[in-house]
């Protein structure tokens, strides 16, 4: 209960901040932290659930999940998780590594980092997140001589060059060991998968 109260206080403090006075690096860290904190709070407020997609609080008849719900007020503007990811982080920073930072509380997600992002550590954490995910079977794996990758790379392929070649170029920056060797000469197609079950220790 104490941790939950601390989380709520943290979200309230972020909503009270004058984000427009932050520098660019601080702003990026702020939005990542706010996204992740709110996601955790959404899960805790409706736990137990098997998947975040069961929390159908977004507006519209055919929507699933909480991402469209305007649950935050930042400098007088109502914002949703979708707003943070798709109106702020992706278009303003144009950095595909943001997909390794924002977490949707699912087993298919990259790891939620154990520390908050700051203006000073964000670059290192983004690199860490990319390297961890790409070299984990949840991110990129070879199965029956074919790449089986996270659906994140298909849903947001435009952020990774818009093609399989662009994805492989991105993966090559971080791949190690046998994956690195396989990617060098890979010319096949892609299968993709995403596990929406609620994440936990086994996702590591």
Model pLDDT for residues 50-79, shown as the tens digit of each residue: 999 999 999 987 678 999 999 999 999 999
Q: Residue 146: left if φ>0, alpha if ψ -120 to 50, beta else—which one? A: beta
Model pLDDT for residues 152-173, shown as the tens digit of each residue: 999 999 999 999 999 999 999 9
Cα separation, 135 vs 190, whole angstroms: 16
Average of per-residue pLDDT across 27-40: 98
Question: Do the Cβ atoms of 47 and 39 come closer than 8 Å?
Answer: no
pTM: 0.94
- Paired sense of beta strands 72-74 and 146-150, if any: unpaired
* CA dihedral of 29, 30, 36, 42, whole degrees rounded to 10: 180
Length of the chain in terms of residues written: 204
The pLDDT value given to residue 52: 96
Average pLDDT of every residue of the chain: 94
Provide the pLDDT confidence category of residue 43 given band limits of 50, 70 and 90.
very high
The pLDDT value given to residue 203: 38
């Amino acid at each position: 209960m104490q941790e939950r109260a601390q989380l709520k206080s943290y979200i309230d403090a972020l909503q009270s901040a004058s984000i427009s006075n932050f520098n660019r690096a601080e702003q990026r860290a702020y939005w990542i932290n706010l996204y992740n904190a709110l996601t955790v709070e959404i899960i805790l407020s409706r736990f137990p659930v098997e998947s975040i997609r069961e929390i159908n609080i977004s507006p519209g008849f055919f929507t699933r999940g909480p991402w469209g719900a305007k649950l935050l007020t930042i400098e007088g503007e109502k914002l949703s998780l979708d707003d943070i990811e798709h109106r702020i982080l992706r278009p303003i920073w144009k950095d595909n590594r943001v997909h390794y930072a924002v977490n949707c509380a699912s087993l298919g997600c990259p790891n939620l980092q154990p520390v908050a992002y700051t203006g000073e550590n964000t670059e290192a954490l983004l690199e860490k997140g990319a390297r961890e995910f790409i070299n984990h079977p949840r991110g990129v794996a070879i199965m029956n001589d074919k790449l089986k990758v996270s659906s994140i790379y298909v849903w947001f392929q435009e952020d990774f060059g818009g093609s399989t070649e662009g994805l492989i170029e991105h993966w090559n920056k971080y791949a190690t060991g046998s994956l690195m060797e396989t990617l060098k000469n890979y010319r096949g197609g892609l299968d993709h998968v995403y596990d929406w079950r609620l994440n936990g220790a086994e996702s590591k």
